[in-house]
Structure 1
Amino acid sequence: MTLTNEQLIQIRRHLHQIPELALHETQTHEYLLSVIKGFNQQFLEIRETPELPTALFVRVQGSNPQRTIGYRTDIDALPVEEKTGLPFKSQHPGVMHACGHDIHMTVALGVLNYFAENQPKDNLLFFFQPAEESDYGGKRAYEAGLFSGKWRPDEFYGLHDNPDLPAGAIGCRMGTLFAGTTEVNIDLKGKGGHAAYPQDANDTVVAAAALIMQVQTVISRSIDPIHSGVITLGKIRGGSIRNVIAGHTRIEGTIRGLTQKMIEKIDGRLQDICEGIGRSFNMDVRLGLNQGGYWPVENNPQLTKFFIDYMQKAPDVNFIETAPAMTGEDFGFLLAKFPGTMFWLGVDDDSQLHSATLTPDEAAIKRGVDAIIGFMNARMAK
């Protein structure tokens, strides 16, 4: 029996009450497993892995498979104290599904439940992924070799909820949906000293100021203005008191880019500037870059065209073409390894993602499930 709208909502509300942070989604894992074990098991194979203990893989055996279609949902939450006032609010203090991953999981369960009852033509692989918000669970799974043999998808799909779109609407675009992100850490090491004797010291605060000003030219003068990139240096820490020259200053920030090639170009220019500042001020300037799995979400042209064409023609789908977003998503790493598409599911809310008051419209769940089932059946008919 397929899940009803009321059952899907109850699943979502239970998941909303048990949010857990990256790589600690044990209660979520157990609940997902219990729900999936309640489905018809005739076509299902469930896999748990010691390499990524809170992850869950479910394979649906196709009747006449030509490919394996992957579907990924993220399962972790954020360190946010919930302020929605909902009767089913988070029971874990300081942790909340403030990015809507409870919606993501429920939609995935609805799609999986349908194909457990209605054997698909192609094989399907459902990946319930931990650690999207931090610690890049998709990259961890890939590098652990978990997508191999019959568990390797030929193409991969996934969604993210969007409070700016009407409930149940499907949003997508050709090209990049989400930017890639890179953490930036810069340490400048000079020589401290008395403020009255600057000639005997090597001031890292002055060097940091020069570095920050030069970084502002990277986007304006090194990146094609038709494309988009961002460098934000959001934190600087140096010195201990007003009359002592700082011998160490640390700068922290983030890079955002719409293609991996663009991010790598920004990385290179930033390295050049750090080396130049080091030489100019005769000090040690060390640049640390950490991208992890947060690569740009670059949708595959052929698969995304088919996806958009289907959603535009489906009579019960409200399709909206969307602009790229500068937010990050670690599904980008998997799309760099497997062709696929990421798309939006509208949840119509005044609060934004990562907000303590995010309250998605639950009417989106069943509409999302139905749209994805329709797409997958159309894809398998090709």
Structure 2
Amino acid sequence: MSEPIQNRLVTVRRSFHRYPEPAWREFFTTSQLVEEIRAIGVDELAVGPDAYDPADRMAVPDEDLEPWLERARERGADETLLDRMAGGTTGAVAVLDRGEGPAIGLRVDIDGLFIEESTDEEHDPADEGFRSEIDGTMHACGHDAHMTWGLAALESIAESDFSGRLVAFFQPAEEAGGGGCPMANSEYADDLDYLLAVHIGLDHPTGEVVAGIEKPLAMCHVDATIEGTSAHAGKAPNEGDNAMHAMGTAIENAYGIPRHSDGMTRVNVGKAEAGTASNVIAERAHMEAEARGETTALMEFMKRRLERAVTAAARMHGCEADIDVVSESPRADSDPELQDLVSEVANGVAGVERVVPAADFGASEDATFLMERVQEDGGLATYLIVGTDHPTSHHTPTFDVDEESLEHGVTVLVETIRELERQHPVTRFENEG
């Protein structure tokens, strides 16, 4: 029998940290998770296409999957699992079905980012030998810690006298906004009374817990390809339709979209590519952009305006635009009832020195799909934050976590699940107004 995860939190987290895989490429990561889940012993385990409908996925890459699959195979991933995940159907759902009681969902994300991890000797993963082994890819947002929490919480509940149903979602593709929707649409999200989602850090220090987020921004990722006509830039520039010029106009107009009086809105073009040579009128341009809003409706406003800016710019320059909404996620706020319960629990956890009842999120998260699903079905959801001292911001080459916070996260989650069991059904507040 392997040593309990609770006794090797640091080892498990570092193992995940060494082998980060981006959205829909989490083949070895899923295999690692399944190995640990099988050792825990659960009542049901669904992997990839058995956990959700692959057609519901968003932001699935058109190519680049096979090299990641082969790399996982070379590393020793379970062949049967790899066959099941072929085509990028990664992730897993584990279920403990322990009789009468509440149905509780726990969501953690599992993907890494396309960031080259620092080799600086002052960066602990580099200094202590658990830096990413995959060039250009890194766990720069703490998902390695999230997976560790998910496994340890699952193990603790499995070994307890818990009565109820616990559904642990090990969700792929959060960074691309692609995995929350299929998980939320799956049968495993049916009839959940409560949902807990969790994140580490986010500028909250070690010893601090935020019981629930508010105002996460609804978000969409938009790709646009502009097709024009090539021509000789010196001899006959008038015969061309300049896709690069059209894209430049589109970018300028996107940043000129007026802000909305109803709340916060955001737009950004993060990647733009065009052209082949200095003496050729560019016939093709590609850009990757995003729009966000304080509400789902505001995000939709920004998305429509962004699409209009690109289409109009293309037409203005005699080009055509093909626009693809790659992924999107809604806004969903934490329920105050669960915020109160998490606050109560966290105040009694050793090492937690400060509990913040609620905090504005200010970013986006596709866990909101699961939150929204549970709330629309009459349940309660919260997205909590377990603080950690991180030397630099999330999504940077020197991001790291204070491993002391691993214990804090497990305890808060486990004790919250047990308290939900004791208090079920948690009384819903009456709506005001």
TM-score tier after normalising by the smaller chain length: 0.7 to 0.9
Contact 2:189 2:374 in 1 (8 A): no
In structure 1, how many angstroms separate the alpha carbons of the residues matched to 2:296 and 2:415?
A: 32
Equivalence map 1:264-279=2 (5 Å): 264-279=300-315
* Pair 1:47-2:86 in alignment: no
In structure 1, how many angstroms separate the alpha carbons of the residues matched to 2:345 and 2:105?
A: 18
Which of 362, 379, 393 matches 1:325?
362
In structure 2, how many angstroms separate the alpha carbons of the residues matched to 1:105 and 1:206?
A: 45
Task: Give the deviation of 1:157 after TM superposition.
Answer: 1.6
- Residue-by-residue CA offset, 1:333-371 (whole Å, 9 max, x unaligned): 322322322222212011222333222111101111111
1:74 is matched with 109
1:259 is matched with 295
Q: Which amino acid counterpart does residue 299 of structure 1 have in structure 2?
A: D
Q: Which amino acid counterpart does residue 98 of structure 1 have in structure 2?
A: A
In structure 2, how many angstroms separate the alpha carbons of the residues matched to 1:346 and 1:290?
A: 31
- Residue-by-residue CA offset, 1:142-162 (whole Å, 9 max, x unaligned): 45x45266xx53432211111
Which is worse superposed, 367-376 or 46-55? Answer: 46-55
CA distance 1:310–1:214, shift in 2 (3 Å):
same
Q: Which amino acid counterpart does residue 333 of structure 2 have in structure 1?
A: N
1:180 is matched with 219
Contact 1:12 1:106 in 2 (8 A): yes
CA distance 1:289–1:118, shift in 2 (3 Å):
same
**What secondary structure, in the 3-state scheme, does the structure 2 residue paired with 1:70 have?**
strand
Contact 1:180 1:258 in 2 (8 A): no
Aligned residues: 369
2:163 is matched with 121
TM-score of the superposition, structure 2-length normalised? 0.73
Q: Which amino acid counterpart does residue 153 of structure 2 have in structure 1?
A: V
Task: Give the deviation of 1:190 after TM superposition.
Answer: 4.9
CA distance 1:12–1:287, shift in 2 (3 Å):
closer
CA distance 1:141–1:174, shift in 2 (3 Å):
closer
In structure 1, how many angstroms separate the alpha carbons of the residues matched to 2:27 and 2:279?
A: 51
* Pair 1:227-2:228 in alignment: no
Contact 2:221 2:288 in 1 (8 A): no
2:17 is matched with 16
2:374 is matched with 338
Q: Which amino acid counterpart does residue 48 of structure 1 have in structure 2?
A: A
Which is worse superposed, 337-346 or 191-200? Answer: 191-200
- Residue-by-residue CA offset, 1:259-279 (whole Å, 9 max, x unaligned): 322221111112333343355
Equivalence map 1:78-227=2 (5 Å): 78-82=113-117, 83=119, 84-90=125-131, 92-94=133-135, 95-134=137-176, 136-142=178-184, 145-147=186-188, 153-162=192-201, 164-177=203-216, 179-190=218-229, 192-195=231-234, 199-218=238-257, 221-224=258-261, 227=263
In structure 2, how many angstroms separate the alpha carbons of the residues matched to 1:283 and 1:132?
A: 34
Contact 1:181 1:255 in 2 (8 A): yes
RMSD of aligned Cα (Å): 3.3
CA distance 1:56–1:207, shift in 2 (3 Å):
closer
Which is worse superposed, 351-360 or 274-283? Answer: 274-283
- Residue-by-residue CA offset, 1:21-50 (whole Å, 9 max, x unaligned): 4444444334333433444x4xx3131335
Task: Give the deviation of 1:194 after TM superposition.
Answer: 4.2
CA distance 1:304–1:296, shift in 2 (3 Å):
farther
Q: Which amino acid counterpart does residue 60 of structure 1 have in structure 2?
A: L
In structure 1, how many angstroms separate the alpha carbons of the residues matched to 2:329 and 2:296?
A: 6
Contact 1:184 1:255 in 2 (8 A): no
Which is worse superposed, 116-125 or 305-314? Answer: 305-314
In structure 1, how many angstroms separate the alpha carbons of the residues matched to 2:233 and 2:32?
A: 61
Which is worse superposed, 172-181 or 267-276? Answer: 172-181
CA distance 1:13–1:329, shift in 2 (3 Å):
same
2:410 is matched with 369
In structure 2, how many angstroms separate the alpha carbons of the residues matched to 1:244 and 1:11?
A: 53
* Pair 1:299-2:300 in alignment: no
In structure 2, how many angstroms separate the alpha carbons of the residues matched to 1:124 and 1:63?
A: 11
Contact 1:274 1:286 in 2 (8 A): no
* Matched-pair identity in %: 23
CA distance 1:96–1:63, shift in 2 (3 Å):
same
Task: Give the deviation of 1:295 after TM superposition.
Answer: 0.9
